[in-house]
Every structure is written in C-alpha cells, then in structure tokens.
Amino acid sequence: MNSIENGVSDFISLRHVTKSFETMSGDIVTALRDVSLQIPKGAFVTLLGPSGCGKSTLLRLIGGLIEKTSGDVLLGGKAVEKPTNQVGMVFQSPVLLPWRTVLENATLAADLGKLSRAEARETASRYIRLVGLEGFERKYPGELSGGMQQRVAICRALVHNPSVLLMDEPFAALDAMTRDHLQVELQSLWMAGDKTVVFVTHSISEAVFLADYMVVLAARPGRVVEVIKVDLPRPRTLDMVNSAEFGGYVSHVRGYFEAEERAA
C-alpha cells in the first residue's frame, strides 16, 4: 500500500479500490484499478495525473458520492457508503444559488439541518472575514468576480466544520493572479485548523505549493504510481516558487509525465 507516512494512524484509507462505469453503449470503462492509499489526519494531499486518470472519481469515492466497484474506502475507520457531515466539498464551479446573498449561500448548512441558523451565521461570518469578503455579505453571486464566488464556496464547505475538505480543481477557471492569491489563503485556512484536505489539480506548481504529499496517478485505468513528500517550510510564499528546491519537485513530477507521453 501507499502509506503516506509510517507511524501515523490512517484517517482516510483506500484498500485495493477499483471503480468501473458502464457507458451508454454497454461498454465497461475502468476509471481506477486496485488503488491503495493511506492518508493521516490533518495532512494536505494533492492528486496529480493526466486527464481521465480518475482523480475526480477518487475524490467522489472518498466523499461517498459514488459507490466503489470493489475494495474498501474507510474514513476514520468506518466504511464510506454515503455523504456525511464529516466531509465538505468544493468543486471547480462554485455552484452558488443566484437568489441568495453571500451570507445566505455560506449558511446553506443551516437549511440542510446540519447547524442552527445562529451558529451557521456566526461561523460563516468568521470564514467570510478570513477569506477577505467582509462587506460583501449582502451581495449576490452575479455581483462577484469568479475568485470571490469560489471563496464563498469554500466558506460554505467549511461552515459545518467537516473533518475532511475535498477540492476538485477549485481554482482551475481563475486567472493566474487570483489563483495564486487563493492558494495562499487556502494554506492559511488549513494551517489555522485541523482539517484533512484532498485537492485535485492539473497544475504541478499548485500541487507542490499546497501539499504535504503529492499523489501521482497513472493514466487510465488510474493507479497510484508514486507518493512524494514535499519537504518545504510553511507557511509557503509565492517567492518560493522560484527557488531551486521548489523547482526540483516540479521537475521530478514533470519528468514522470513526459516519460509517460513518450511511452504512449
């Protein structure tokens, strides 16, 4: 198995997980095959791999949004069979309700019965301040930039205080400057708490900047080929991107993908 860190109890555990889908024509497509991965509590893990390698599928299996074909998916020692309050999710699109304000979108957990309305508003207001949206509480999604909308989505995912935050390319559609800024903000939010984060990205640089560990997946059917520990000090700054140490991690991962392309 790919145990991320020896001697640390596993919080998220995938054991020989395979996930296959049936297409409209009746063909069987295997997205993930025999994936084993152990993630300790409180780690920030990024998933990297070519398009179609099953990164998002792996995230949805952890979140209980889809069922595995075979194997075991465990969270805190318990089998994952459906979505739970332990998990918050952020997708590439913010998926905000256009008729609700920033604060109302962020407190959606209260409407779903996960929190009292007063508790949800208090917690949401705190996260809104932390992500730099104070003063925008009464604005509607149509009045916000893409980066601001994604910050609201992050607040919404955090309001019910999940143990795990799953993020599926949340910054992919943003411009480079906004993306850089949100990476720094996300790092700060994570360092201020005790959450385990699993983050899907196509950007090697983003993966290195955010991760304690990078999990590299091979092309479909997806399987874990390497787990890389990122030994860079925190908090990380954007200036570190230009350092030799940072570049070494980027080159290592890029070299793997270039070798796969040559072999294809």
Q: Quote the crossing angle between the two packed helices 117-130 and 146-158, to the nearest 10°.
A: 140
Which of the listed residues 121, 143, 161 is the one where a domain comes to its end?
Answer: 161
Q: Does pTM top 0.85 for this prediction?
A: yes
- Find the distance separating the first CA and the last CA of the chain, reported in whole Å: 26
Residues of the chain above pLDDT 90, percent: 74
Examine the domain organization and report whether 171 and 204 are in the same domain: yes
Number of domains in the chain: 2
Examine the domain organization and report whether 47 and 174 are in the same domain: yes
Pairing relation of β-strands 28-40 and 2-3? parallel
**Tokens at 12, concatenated:** 């998220």
Which of the listed residues 161, 188, 209 is the one where a domain comes to its end?
Answer: 161
Examine the domain organization and report whether 71 and 187 are in the same domain: yes
Examine the domain organization and report whether 79 and 115 are in the same domain: no
Task: Residue 117: give the domain boundaries.
Answer: 94-161
Examine the domain organization and report whether 182 and 78 are in the same domain: yes
**Reduced to 3 states, what is the DSSP secondary structure of residue 33?**
strand
pLDDT digits (tens, 9 = 90+) for 25-46: 888 999 999 999 999 999 999 9
Examine the domain organization and report whether 187 and 71 are in the same domain: yes
Examine the domain organization and report whether 82 and 112 are in the same domain: no
Examine the domain organization and report whether 178 and 77 are in the same domain: yes
Cβ burial, residue 142 (10 Å; 0-12/13-18/19+)? exposed
Examine the domain organization and report whether 246 and 258 are in the same domain: yes
Average pLDDT over residues 78-96: 92
**pLDDT value of residue 87:** 94
Examine the domain organization and report whether 43 and 168 are in the same domain: yes
Residue 263 reports pLDDT greater than 90: no
Q: What is the DSSP letter of 179?
A: H
Examine the domain organization and report whether 157 and 169 are in the same domain: no
Examine the domain organization and report whether 8 and 56 are in the same domain: yes
pLDDT digits (tens, 9 = 90+) for 127-181: 999 898 999 999 999 999 999 999 999 999 999 889 999 999 999 988 999 999 9
Which of the listed residues 136, 161, 186 is the one where a domain comes to its end?
Answer: 161
Identify the CATH number of the domain in which residue 169 sits: 3.40.50.300
